[in-house]
Amino acid sequence: MNDLAPAAVPGRARSGGAVRAALRRAAPALLAYAAIRLLGIVVLALWSAADGKSWHTLLTARWDALWYTRVAEQGYGYTVVLPDGEVHSNLAFFPLLPWLERGLSALSPLSPADAGMVVSWLASLAAAWALYATGERLHGPRAGVALAALWAALPVGIVQSMAYSEALFTALAAWGLYAVLTGRWVWAGVLASLAGLTRPVGVAVVAAVWLTAAVTLWRSRACGVRLRGALRRHPGLLPGVALAPLGWCGFFLWVGARQGSFTGYLEVQGGWGNGFDGGLAFGTFLWQQLSGPGFATGLGLTVGVGLVIWLQVHGIRQGQPLPLAVYGGTVLLLALTAKGYFGSKPRLMLPAYPLLLPLAAGLARWRPMWSWLTVGLVAAGSAVYGAFWLNGSGPP
């Protein structure tokens, strides 16, 4: 056993050194991300104070954050029946964020709600690091910094700082897809499984892992490599593929068993007025806006939908790697074809960071002064909109 130790120590040292080097390269992106999000929180605090509200309450104890906290404190089984007959069950909320809230609050003086906010803040930094690593790999360091900054400066970027699951999900999804890009299939499967325990859209990460694995094996076969040889060329591919759906499928099946129906989770979502209808309800909503007094709102929404679809198509035409194209397209498809509260659609698209890659690559080619001026203006607009949004209707 002793003769193995000298070989193991240098290996660990090299691994630790690589992580530290990667973190040093990502430092500008993390600083830019943190500065943009800090600006958003400061503007929110000032706006909330002027409006007689608490910025802390808006980030930790409103809307879905209350449901996550209740799961962390009491577990599953809480249901509210509304006067219109809708049945809102906390089984609609995936468990990883409440588990982390419960664990962190048990190990610290933090309440579950505050623990949820801390998890989101740390996870958002982890997501920014993954976005930098992705942009750096595809288009260079400046594109990596731009990608992290643009994601922070999205109009609904304030959600990344709330006790919501979007930041945690994006971190797991982005690192999982980066693992696919770098051939770390087991890590990809583990992270995809964890993402599947975080949000329903975790199925998008599973789809990206599975389709990329299938195309990888097909290409090897087309080059005359037999299956066994292809699997040797891509170690961990089969375990990664097997691990990827466990989180999402596990929760889906658990809710189904608890509800006494295989489609139990879909029925729970139906109680909230959610589901998928191919975009019919959303299309009807847009038409009602365009043909009525809400024309300006409908026009803005139509332009916004057209923009995100154009970004998806443009990214594919630029040669965006398959896992990113599949993931971004699936997130976008699920968001646009879901019925329910339409004001939540921008938030549902928040994890679709590959849509920003063409913009980040374009900014990277600009002179630094102009690119940072653009990001600064967008970040200021995002901060103002986020404060207005949370002090108004807010995310559902």
**pLDDT one-digit tens code per residue, 74-130:** 999 999 998 888 899 999 999 999 999 999 999 999 999 999 999 999 999 999 999
Decide if 10 is inside a domain: no
Number of structural domains found in the chain: 1
Mean pLDDT of the chain: 92
pTM of the full structure: 0.94
- CA 289 to chain CA centroid, Å, is 29
- pLDDT category at 7 given cuts 50, 70, 90 is very low
Q: What is the pLDDT of residues 114-150, one digit of tens each?
A: 999 999 999 999 999 999 999 999 999 999 999 999 9
Give the phi and the psi of residue 89 in degrees, each rounded to 5.
Answer: -110, 145
What's residue 290's pLDDT? 86
Residue with tokens 């709102």: 297
- pLDDT category at 280 given cuts 50, 70, 90 is confident
What's the one-letter identity of residue 163? A
Decide if 65 is inside a domain: yes
Decide if 89 is inside a domain: yes
* Residue/partner pairs of 289-294 with CB below 8 Å, 24 or more apart: none
What's residue 13's pLDDT? 57
What's residue 148's pLDDT? 98
Over residues 47-68, the mean pLDDT reads 96
Using DSSP, state whether 94 is helix, strand or coil: coil
Q: What is the pLDDT of residues 292-329, one digit of tens each?
A: 887 887 888 889 889 999 999 999 999 999 999 999 99
Return the structure tokens found at 250: 């596990």
- pLDDT category at 41 given cuts 50, 70, 90 is very high
Decide if 33 is inside a domain: no
Decide if 274 is inside a domain: yes
- On whether the CB atoms of residues 55 and 383 are closer than 8 A, the answer is no
DSSP string, 101-144: HHHHHHHSS--HHHHHHHHHHHHHHHHHHHHHHHHHHHH-HHHH
Runs of H (alpha helix) within the chain: 5-50, 55-60, 64-74, 96-107, 112-139, 141-152, 166-181, 185-196, 203-222, 227-233, 237-243, 246-259, 264-271, 280-290, 295-317, 322-336, 345-348, 357-365, 368-390
Decide if 66 is inside a domain: yes
Decide if 35 is inside a domain: no
What's residue 12's pLDDT? 55
Cross-strand bridge partners of residue 276: 338
Q: Give the domain range for residue 159.
A: 47-390
What's residue 126's pLDDT? 98
Decide if 218 is inside a domain: yes
Over residues 168-193, the mean pLDDT reads 98
Is the pLDDT score of 153 beyond 80? Answer: yes
Residue with tokens 């007959």: 85
Q: CA–CA separation, 171 vs 30, rounded Å? A: 13
35: nearest Cα among 384, 389, 375: 375
What's the one-letter identity of residue 116? G
